[in-house]
Structure 1
């Protein structure tokens, strides 16, 4: 039984398999089967991409919220997992605590797929790499600059870049990078990060559930991706996992301009979700 909780669950071959499957005609492998979609955090892209991906594979997505399952309060994690496995081919979760997904996976009653956790966002990284491959025609050697916080999005993207041989650099304020990640190039200066970059990527300064205050905004203000920063990487394309706050982490001329590929990136969430589920079931 395969689980996909983080990019670390994949080999380079697995990742390449998922990206290839994401662009191929898809089999109705979930015909007559359900997929549980458990959401502790709301999301426009994750819910829509996952529900459509399940439907494209012939399955029936079931949207679930915490009050319906009572995980850890009304019922134990193991009991909920076993119950969902009675009905569903895959259990997918978008959760705060990554440990919950790990506990569900240990039950081993059904494959578990991480739609987002506090530490990892593998589905976003898969969509990101598919987008880069479509834009540039390759992944190996591509220079990716992430401007902003070391979070679940940047961590998963860094791990995915390492698997495919892309060069990943993150620029963050002191103490807000990816910590002790020995294989990740981390810098303070955004201008240094984007030098020679082919992809410039950013995310919101305040993630869902994070602390939102003026001190934090002031800290991240020098990390705004604007036209001046993009001019330092004249051949780069712009990516953002969305939702975006124009005027904060990115300016409108950048995200809405001709070098932005955010809508292709958003669409690819559906294609790579399909590829990830195919890998879980038959890859």
Structure 2
């Protein structure tokens, strides 16, 4: 019985550990190994080739360079919407909008894309930008502005569409996190600041923003990593990797997916994925440095 008692905790966590091993650790290990192999059409025939796939990325693959450029535009532009515009929106809705009904309606309008399936969301955008029956071109023409004949395939409109589609989805995540954080701030701080003559802008700058530093760090890091690896809305809206490439919106994650599952070049697709993970790690280290993670982890000097 004493032995069983010592083993009981391990028995309880064994199913969870087995799940993690099968669904996460094993696929990661297999992907890393495949990145150093030539593996086409079937995973049963893999030939170890060392760093050849990674050399190919930087020396012989012209589409990889385009994918890096598009990914840089995609991540930087959408991150501004997801991490910083959502912060402005959350502060506006939570602090400035006094009517809770109006505030809830605004939150709902930004939350709907998050809970809508990607395919349905893409179909809604296809209707919205349709050059014949879509309301977007009709509004542009009514305002006397140029209306593209094809939003999906015409640069730079296709990239603007890519940013808008993914930004609308991602902003809701940050808005939820930030709104919950602003609501949790004691109202006494706001009242005391107003008694001292502080304006709403000063309250936002000197009270709200400093108290949201952890939330800004989390949302920025999470969204950056999410954008690096996300492609489902691009794939659904442009109906395939080939069309996305022609439209100039093929990001790195979609390129890796297309190499592995469209052309069955599993080894090279795995190498592209491993390189993407390395970029993600660099992003994390960069955010740790920018946000002063070590300083944020230090205990408060104020004794309560």
For the criterion TM > 0.5, the same-fold answer is: no
Greater RCO (Cα-Cα under 8 Å, separation 6 or more):
2
More strand by share: 1
More helix by share: 2
**TM-score after normalising by structure 2:** 0.24
**TM-score after normalising by structure 1:** 0.25
